[in-house]
């Protein structure tokens, strides 16, 4: 019976490949048609009337009529939706909101989630991601077991009589079709527990009883759960296949997987295991790794999201130019601007990407618009940091669990630099060597950083601090940001995060510069 269910589910999902192939073969047409549909649906909303949607005929009309917005500028409209007003940003009443702290500030954001966004974006993209996987893995037995999904730590709450909110994973789970609910673990009552530490314990005890064939979640918290399972089962060999012998797929996202890859491969010693990246956020499901042999992600072009791409050299300008899909260039840094079937219009989501190819359109995430260090003209992006960390780990057999970095400003005659706070699960034999490899890799990846580091011209060798085990966990807990959707800010152009962490650890190991 189990094998029959697997065959039926696989057959149904593989039929979705026609949809994928269509937007891959006609990407620009798919995006242009989608924008027309979005504008047509929203022309009679308060927002649509205010911005003259009835008169918009071209992409250029759309750009002229609708300004680029961020959460702060869009919030008055979202607030009216939360209060129950209909036909504001999207037809009808929006009753679900994804709560996101983002990683740019400490304020909560409430992102609208419409039925169309659930069905045509989040769920459809998830289905097609599995369809692409099955296309590459015809011998898969994915549906003979269950999917472990590690979601957010927030329960579902009411904002008022009209609206409810939770982490995007909780909103998706609460609205999940029955068939998919039967295929996942842990139970909804455990998955929606609010207190993260209690939830990890309950989740571990429940899921070790299941035959899990796939996992979905942020690497940091997935590893926390796995370690708890090893603790409960007394698995001293730390072999996850002892618990789940049929495990074959891990879909990860939220943070770079590279610093975690070696540890996952160590605890899952299987040539059958596949790791796939995805770009799934509160605002929509944007990209998936469609080919296990290619680390770039396929941009999803017909899922209720119209894209524009703002060249980062114009970021922060009053009326910055944006590029359509047809205008983008490989290797150039863009901030992502979206218009969606959830009522987000020319919305700057805060992520930066680069295209790795345009046939089909594949991308990689390079960072956040506000998560970078550019105190001295070095233009250091998260992508640079992740790749340098991964290289240092590979060369020293180290494993990093978390890190953050910030500038050290000029003071008197002293030159500037960067300060890195790094927590290891497996420290390198020589921390100085690890820091040196990181520094040299950053110079190789980033010409601006290299120029500032040359002869210590403007940047000294980085200050590198090894943090005690549990530092970042404790810091995130104190900030009320422990759990699935919350991520440690990797880079900051100020010292707010670094100073906050250092204040927690007065008796630190020695540092060096």
Position 394 pLDDT exceeds 80:
yes
Q: Residue 172 falls within a domain, yes or no?
A: no
Range from 21-35, 205-219, 331-345, 447-461 carrying the lowest mean pLDDT:
447-461
Give the pLDDT band of residue 2 (cuts 50, 70, 90): low
pLDDT in tens, 420-430: 999 999 999 99
pLDDT in tens, 244-291: 999 999 999 877 787 778 889 999 999 999 999 999 999 999 999 999
Which pLDDT score, from 0 to 100, does residue 107 have?
52
Position 509 pLDDT exceeds 60:
no
Position 14 pLDDT exceeds 80:
no
Which pLDDT score, from 0 to 100, does residue 103 have?
38
Q: CA angle, corner 487, sides to 155 and 240, nearest 5?
A: 80
Give the pLDDT band of residue 181 (cuts 50, 70, 90): confident
**Domain boundary at 263, 288, 313, which?**
288
Q: Residue 488 falls within a domain, yes or no?
A: yes
Position 222 pLDDT exceeds 50:
yes
Position 371 pLDDT exceeds 50:
yes
d(CA 246, CA 144): 9
**Domain boundary at 247, 266, 288, which?**
288
User: Do 279 and 377 reside in the same domain of the chain?
Assistant: no
Q: Residue 420 falls within a domain, yes or no?
A: yes
Beta bridge partners of 407: 418
d(CA 240, CA 403): 25
CATH number at residue 214: 3.40.50
Give the pLDDT band of residue 153 (cuts 50, 70, 90): low
**Domain boundary at 255, 288, 321, which?**
288
Q: Is 97 helix (H, G, I), strand (E, B) or coil?
A: strand
Q: Residue 257 falls within a domain, yes or no?
A: yes
User: Do 266 and 395 reside in the same domain of the chain?
Assistant: no
Taking alpha carbons only, the member of 275, 280, 308 closest to residue 294 is 275
User: Do 136 and 283 reside in the same domain of the chain?
Assistant: yes
Which pLDDT score, from 0 to 100, does residue 93 have?
95
Q: Residue 418 falls within a domain, yes or no?
A: yes
Which pLDDT score, from 0 to 100, does residue 379 have?
76
Position 314 pLDDT exceeds 70:
yes
Q: What is the domain count for the chain?
A: 2
User: Do 263 and 400 reside in the same domain of the chain?
Assistant: no
Which pLDDT score, from 0 to 100, does residue 508 have?
46
Q: Residue 213 falls within a domain, yes or no?
A: yes
Which pLDDT score, from 0 to 100, does residue 513 have?
38
Position 220 pLDDT exceeds 60:
yes
d(CA 347, CA 160): 25
The whole domain housing 237 covers: 117-161+177-288
Q: Is 91 helix (H, G, I), strand (E, B) or coil?
A: coil
d(CA 473, CA 470): 5
Span 343-354, average pLDDT: 94
Percent of the chain surpassing pLDDT 70: 92
Which pLDDT score, from 0 to 100, does residue 197 have?
78
Higher pLDDT, 134 or 381: 134
User: Do 387 and 270 reside in the same domain of the chain?
Assistant: no
Q: Residue 469 falls within a domain, yes or no?
A: yes
Strands 380-381 and 297-299: unpaired
Which pLDDT score, from 0 to 100, does residue 156 have?
72
Percent of the chain surpassing pLDDT 90: 60
d(CA 343, CA 340): 6
Which pLDDT score, from 0 to 100, does residue 257 have?
83
Give the pLDDT band of residue 55 (cuts 50, 70, 90): very high
| Mean per-residue pLDDT of the chain | 88
Q: Residue 513 falls within a domain, yes or no?
A: no
Position 143 pLDDT exceeds 60:
yes
Span 165-191, average pLDDT: 86
Position 292 pLDDT exceeds 60:
yes
Which pLDDT score, from 0 to 100, does residue 176 have?
85
Give the pLDDT band of residue 102 (cuts 50, 70, 90): very low
User: Do 280 and 389 reside in the same domain of the chain?
Assistant: no
User: Do 150 and 280 reside in the same domain of the chain?
Assistant: yes
User: Do 280 and 378 reside in the same domain of the chain?
Assistant: no
pTM: 0.79
Which pLDDT score, from 0 to 100, does residue 374 have?
79
User: Do 282 and 387 reside in the same domain of the chain?
Assistant: no
């Amino acid at each position: 019976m189990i094998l029959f269910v697997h065959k039926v589910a696989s057959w149904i999902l593989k039929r979705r490949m026609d949809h994928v192939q269509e937007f891959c073969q006609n990407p620009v047409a798919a995006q242009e048609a989608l924008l027309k549909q979005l504008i047509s649906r929203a022309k009679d909303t308060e927002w649509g009337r205010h911005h003259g949607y009835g008169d918009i005929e071209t992409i250029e009309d759309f750009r002229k009529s609708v300004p680029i917005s961020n959460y702060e500028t869009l919030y008055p409209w979202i607030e009216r939706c939360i209060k129950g007003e209909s036909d504001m940003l999207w037809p009808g009443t929006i009753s679900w909101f994804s709560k996101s702290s983002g990683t740019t500030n400490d304020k909560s954001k409430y992102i609208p989630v419409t039925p169309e966004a659930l069905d045509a974006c989040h769920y459809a993209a998830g289905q097609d991601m599995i369809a692409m996987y099955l296309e590459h893995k015809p011998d898969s037995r994915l549906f003979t077991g269950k999917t472990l999904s590690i979601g957010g730590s927030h329960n579902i709450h009411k904002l008022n009589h009209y609206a409810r909110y939770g982490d995007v994973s909780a909103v998706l789970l609460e609205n999940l079709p029955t068939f998919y609910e039967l295929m996942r673990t842990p139970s909804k009552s455990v998955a929606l527990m609010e207190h993260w530490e209690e939830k990890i314990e309950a989740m571990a005890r429940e899921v070790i009883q299941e035959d899990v064939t796939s996992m979905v979640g942020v690497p940091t918290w997935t590893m926390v759960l796995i370690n708890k399972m090893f603790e409960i089962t007394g698995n001293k060999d730390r072999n996850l296949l002892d618990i789940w012998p049929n495990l074959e797929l891990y879909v990860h996202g939220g943070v770079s997987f590279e610093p975690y890859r070696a540890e996952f491969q160590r605890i899952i010693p299987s040539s059958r295991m596949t790791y796939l990246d995805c770009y799934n956020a509160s605002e929509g499901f944007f990209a998936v790794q469609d080919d296990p042999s290619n680390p770039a992600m396929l941009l999803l072009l017909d899922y209720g999201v119209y894209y524009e791409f703002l060249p980062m050299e114009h970021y922060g300008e009053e009326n910055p130019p944006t590029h359509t899909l047809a205008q983008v260039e490989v290797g150039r840094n863009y901030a992502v601007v979206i218009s969606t079937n959830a009522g987000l219009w020319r919305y700057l989501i805060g992520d930066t990407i680069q295209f790795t190819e345009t046939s089909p359109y594949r991308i990689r995430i390079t960072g956040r618009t506000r998560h970078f260090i550019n105190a001295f003209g070095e233009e250091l992006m998260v992508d640079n940091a992740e790749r340098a960390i991964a290289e240092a780990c590979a060369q020293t057999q180290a494993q990093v669990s978390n890190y953050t970095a910030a500038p050290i400003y000029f003071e008197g005659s002293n030159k500037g630099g960067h300060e890195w706070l790094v927590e290891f699960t497996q420290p390198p034999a020589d921390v100085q060597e690890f820091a040196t490899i990181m520094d040299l890799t950053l110079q190789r990846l980033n010409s601006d950083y290299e120029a500032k580091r040359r002869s210590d011209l403007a940047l000294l060798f980085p200050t590198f601090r090894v943090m005690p085990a549990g530092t970042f966990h404790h810091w995130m807990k104190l900030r009320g940001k422990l759990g699935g959707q919350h991520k440690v800010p990797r880079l900051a152009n100020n010292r707010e995060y670094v100073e906050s962490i250092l204040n927690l650890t007065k008796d630190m190991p020695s540092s060096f510069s």
